[in-house]
Amino acid sequence: MINYPVQGMEKALETIKAQLSSKPTLKLLQKMVNALHQGAGKLSGGKAIFQIPSFTASSDPKKAPSVEKSAIVKETLASGINYCEKADHPECKDGSEQATTAFDQVLAKAIQETKLPTCSFGDTIRVVLTATLNPNAKDGNCKTIKQFKHAKRYGGAACKKCKVYLTGGVHQKSGIIDRKVDLALSNWEPNKIEMYDDGTRGDLAAGDGIWTRVFEFPAPKATGKVCKQNADCSEKNSICLSGKCVLPLRIGYKYTYGLNGDVWGGTEEFPGNQRILEIVDHNGDGFVSRHDNFADETTNKDKVNTLQKKGATGTVCYAEPPKSSCPKDPDCGCKQDQNNDGIPDARENLVDWDHNCKANGFRVHANTQPLIKQCQ
């Protein structure tokens, strides 16, 4: 919830408060929680009552999510807490409860029934680009990245005064053409747009080797057409997103390492290629969040991708052309998802924080919030 907007949080609490007095499931949940709190007075030594639960959503929206870990710490029930009666729920006993089953089922149903407010974003979305400069970083082949293979200007190693810079511009296959985006990315002038590793301006922690830059870019623009797949959208460079045809902004970009005003030679992470990114909020957190490893040649490079996994073709693209247009289409042979993680490589991505070659999840931004238009 750290990225949930303040306005949305306030409205969510108002919604839940109103439903506590009107929805039977929430009224029962509140009764159970109150009983557990009252029973907590009998506990000694400050034992915990609640923990963070975990659920698995059902593919059937009519079914409540299944429980993987209960919200109730089971040891607390050993003190003899009676949190519900048989008349409340079939899993309850008349007397002290020895199991969490009844509470789990009521909580899961309450989650299913509670409709929290949704926050709609305007024409602009916050984009956070981060790049790791760490000697332990691994590429998509689980090999240590040669970070200064091409960035040799300062001895092929980290230098005290050097910083990571970002440069780029609107991609030729973008659905939105915006000169302001070109300017924000320095329009491919290297070593000008500074990134930060000082715990400010969107950076999460100072000195951790993760460099950050935050932008405000155009969000996908609806065309007015409904769709089920990209093929249903006829506008050039349009895509199907949540049942609507939209025109997305697409950018090309690259990282450099050196001093402000340096030229390309000896500072760019790799020559002859650009990274590509489609400005689409894939996981619905209100950000477009892309994390890269400096000099990783197995990732979203457009021309020569060195990923060695089965099915990798070496060419990353925004959209794979239909087979009917091959081999005439210049993108024939390209792949959207080279690493087979279910997310197009040219979109925001999962992050491997501990460099063990296993993704840990999407990046969390604790010191910046999404751009909000309104919450409904």
Mean pLDDT value across residues 116-128: 82
Task: Compute the CA torsion angle 353, 354, 357, 358 (nearest 10 deg).
Answer: -70
- pLDDT value at 9 more than 70: yes
Mean pLDDT value across residues 281-302: 93
How does residue 338 score in pLDDT terms, banded at 50, 70 and 90? very high
Respond yes or no on whether the N-terminal peptide bond of residue 327 is cis (omega within 30° of 0): yes
Exposed/middle/buried for residue 64 (C-beta within 10 Å: 0-12, 13-18, 19+): buried
As a whole number, the mean pLDDT across the chain is: 91
pLDDT value at position 87? 93
Cα distance between residue 208 and residue 180, in whole Å: 31
The strand ranges marked E within 76-134 are 119-120, 124-132
- How far from 91 is each of 28, 98, 99, 303, CA to CA, in Å? 13, 11, 9, 59
pLDDT value at position 120? 67
Residue 174 pairs with which residues in a beta bridge? none
- pLDDT value at 247 more than 90: yes
Number of residues that make up the chain: 376
pTM over 0.75: no
pLDDT value at position 97? 92
- pLDDT value at 29 more than 90: yes
Q: Smallest Cα–Cα separation from 242: which of 284, 287, 276, 278?
A: 284
Helix, strand or coil, per DSSP, at residue 107: helix
Cα distance between residue 121 and residue 222, in whole Å: 13
Q: Which phi-psi region, left, alpha or beta, contains residue 37 (left: φ > 0; alpha: ψ -120 to 50)?
A: alpha
pLDDT value at position 261? 96
User: Hey, what domains does the chain have and what are their CATH numbers?
Assistant: 24-113 (no CATH), 122-376 (2.60.40.10)
- pLDDT value at 166 more than 90: yes
The neighbour count for residue 151, using CB atoms within 10 Å, is 26
Sign of CA dihedral 42, 46, 47, 52: positive
Residue 316 DSSP code: B
pLDDT value at position 169? 98
How does residue 324 score in pLDDT terms, banded at 50, 70 and 90? confident
Pick from 70-84, 204-218, 289-303: least confident: 70-84
The strand ranges marked E within the chain are 54-56, 66-69, 119-120, 124-132, 163-170, 193-194, 210-218, 221-226, 239-241, 244-247, 250-258, 275-278, 287-293, 374-375
